[in-house]
Structure 1
Amino acid sequence: MKVYFAGFGPGDPELLTVKAYKLLKKADLVIYPGSLVEAELLDEFNGEKVNSYGKSLEEIVDLIERSVREGKLVVRLQSGDPSIYGAINEQIAELEKRGIEVEVIPGVSSIFASASAIRSELTSPDIPSVVITRPAGRTLEKDEIEVFARTNSTLVILLGIDKIRDIAERVGKIRGYDEPVCVVYRASREDERVIEGTLADIADRVEKSGIRKTATIVIGRAIKTARRSILYASR
């Protein structure tokens, strides 16, 4: 008995992996996060669709177990890639307790869709690392934004657009307020928007735009770097 946890990607249906697409075409039941994946994006798939938004862990796991034991092909859909704030560990642990095997199908993260939107690498010859993090909030008592700001890394901050002013101030105190920043709203989707600025002005720009959610914050000098990479042969 097996259930598939599949990444749906950042929103553009064409960024769905071939493997996930094939599973969705065959699925008898698709459990999707309706707050992150719009129902209409699943219209071409014929299986039953259940929105998991507002359901408890126990309700979701019970539904998966019951359906799998009935012989149904079940796909538990995740936005982006399941490994990035996908909250899959607790689901998998409960399913495995019940003797249900789990296979995870990766997806394109909004992190990489955002990098594509700004047409830039997240690393450079001088900046070899990327840090993915989020600010403290309802489910995180304390964050490590200052810790990461002191590193020579590009910072990618998820689930934090509503705290953009606080984030810019905290990072700016460490890196300087001229540090480049890009905010990408709904990366890869038809209504994608990119706001560029520095830590000094990005909060004003974002607030003026009206963006309040579904956005990625990218901070660092690697954005649109022009330095020649050593990957290219020298003449």
Structure 2
Amino acid sequence: MKLYVVGIGPGDPELITLKAKKILESVNTIFCPKGGKDSIALSIVEKTIDLSEKKIITLQFPMLKTKQQNLVKVWNELAENIIEQATEDSAFITLGDPSFYCTFFYLYEYLKDKIQIELIPGVSSINASSCRLPASLALGDERIAIVPANYHREIDFYIENFDTIVLMKPHKTLDRIKKALKTKNCRVFYIKKATMPEEAIFSGLDEIKESDLDYFSMVVIKK
């Protein structure tokens, strides 16, 4: 058996790669993770690929900070579910790129010795957001830091040592990020749901309303 872990990009179905599309059209079974009621990944794929004859299996992923919880049993059960229901060729779809902050890797250790796994790259939210601004992430010998937004406490270190800083998922810490950046001489951008219909882009953080805060967001800081 073989499991393709397919990155489907940041949201725009036209950013699904030709290879990803070819694989998803060829497999009989598609596993799709979801953390709430619906699978965003599946809603993107179905805009491009006919799923009417596919076996679709949703996997409920825990909405918890995985490093703070004992989730060994959960990952083991999810992996067993994949092994039991996988067909000769199956696909696991994931937003963005499977090597970048992808929850699939919590399952990888439980699957790697039981099924052949191949990762299919996708357009990451970082690349999509920087292109939508537009802004260069790095030129020449410039350095870039990509960190979760709760590292805002160390913003002085990052600004001193890097030319571009990307803060992932800042929706819960935006006020603290604004405070940390108040005295810094930087260009700052906020983007939510890059390439999705609900996309919003802000130059600076002062005009962002509570309704603009979203899990699928990031702050890009340029010195």
TM above 0.5:
yes
Give the TM-score of the pair, scaled to structure 1.
0.77
SS in 2 for 1:124: coil
Aligned residues: 205
Matches within 5 A, 1:47-58: 47-54=54-61, 56-58=74-76
Q: Which amino acid letter does the alignment assign opposite residue 87 of structure 1?
A: T
User: Aligned pair in 2 of structure 1 residues 213, 88: CA closer, same or farther (>3 Å)?
Assistant: closer
User: Aligned pair in 2 of structure 1 residues 159, 213: CA closer, same or farther (>3 Å)?
Assistant: same
Contact 1:10 1:80 in 2 (8 A): yes
Q: Which amino acid letter does the alignment assign opposite residue 96 of structure 2?
A: G
Q: Does 1:41 align with 2:44?
A: yes
Corresponding position of 1:129 = 143
Q: Does 1:219 align with 2:214?
A: no
> Displacement of 1:80 after TM fit?
0.6
Corresponding position of 2:98 = 82
Corresponding position of 1:224 = none
Question: 1: CA distance between counterparts of 2:107 and 2:7?
Answer: 15
Q: Determine what percentage of the aligned residue pairs are the same residue.
A: 25
Question: 2: CA distance between counterparts of 1:38 and 1:100?
Answer: 23
**More deviation in 108-117 or 59-68?**
59-68
User: Aligned pair in 2 of structure 1 residues 124, 96: CA closer, same or farther (>3 Å)?
Assistant: closer
> Displacement of 1:179 after TM fit?
1.4
Corresponding position of 1:30 = 30
Contact 1:34 1:51 in 2 (8 A): yes
Question: 2: CA distance between counterparts of 1:171 and 1:52?
Answer: 39
Corresponding position of 1:229 = none
Question: 1: CA distance between counterparts of 2:166 and 2:134?
Answer: 15
Corresponding position of 2:15 = 15
Contact 1:134 1:143 in 2 (8 A): no
Corresponding position of 2:3 = 3
User: Aligned pair in 2 of structure 1 residues 13, 96: CA closer, same or farther (>3 Å)?
Assistant: same
Corresponding position of 1:110 = 125
SS in 1 for 2:207: helix
Question: 1: CA distance between counterparts of 2:58 and 2:128?
Answer: 24
Give the TM-score of the pair, scaled to structure 2.
0.81
Question: Runs in 1 of length 4+ with deviation above 6 angstroms?
Answer: none
User: Aligned pair in 2 of structure 1 residues 64, 209: CA closer, same or farther (>3 Å)?
Assistant: closer
Alignment deviations for residues 22-43 of structure 1 (CA, whole Å, 9 cap, x no partner):
1111222211233462543333
Q: Does 1:168 align with 2:186?
A: no
| 2:80 equivalent among 51, 55, 62 | 62
Contact 2:33 2:61 in 1 (8 A): no
Structure 1 gap ranges (5+): 222-235
Question: 2: CA distance between counterparts of 1:38 and 1:103?
Answer: 18
Question: 1: CA distance between counterparts of 2:188 and 2:144?
Answer: 14
Which has more radius of gyration?
A: 1
> Displacement of 1:145 after TM fit?
4.3
User: Aligned pair in 2 of structure 1 residues 83, 187: CA closer, same or farther (>3 Å)?
Assistant: same
Contact 2:169 2:217 in 1 (8 A): yes
> Displacement of 1:149 after TM fit?
2.8
Contact 2:7 2:94 in 1 (8 A): yes
Q: Which amino acid letter does the alignment assign opposite residue 55 of structure 2?
A: E
Q: Which amino acid letter does the alignment assign opposite residue 118 of structure 1?
A: L
Contact 1:7 1:20 in 2 (8 A): yes
Q: Which amino acid letter does the alignment assign opposite residue 150 of structure 1?
A: E
